[in-house]
Structure 1
């Protein structure tokens, strides 16, 4: 089963992933990354690994693994 991996230190909290996720599986953490941004968090129970986050993210935050 595919899984989405988040590189939290690349995230700039732009919100494209949250906006485009068809399952509303992405939110922002309460914590901050090394650049001072809240970072994307994927709810694995909702995620279908469709790749929309990967496609829309301008910063390469997401990786989809098998």
Structure 2
């Protein structure tokens, strides 16, 4: 039996500028913008649907601020 990989996304909310590239790119809809500002006045991204994340890392690839790390658990 094959189990699906699970991903964990860690977002540096102080580095994030809320560009939404990660939100638009995530094929599983695991990221959304927070409703709270960071210290720079941006609405940062947040990991909102961890059960669906496969760890594909597309969010980290498109992040212009290098604010996202992705970890995969087999």
TM-score when normalising by structure 1: 0.89
Structure 1 runs, 4 residues or longer, greater than 4 Å off: none
Q: How many residues align?
A: 66
Q: Does 1:5 align with 2:10?
A: yes
Which of 37, 40, 47 does residue 35 from structure 1 map onto? Answer: 40
Structure ranking higher in helix proportion: 1
Quote the Cα distance in structure 2 between the aligned partners of 1:38 and 1:3.
20
State which structure, 1 or 2, has the greater radius of gyration over its C-alpha atoms: 2
Aligned-CA RMSD value: 1.3
Query: Normalising by structure 2, what TM-score?
Result: 0.80
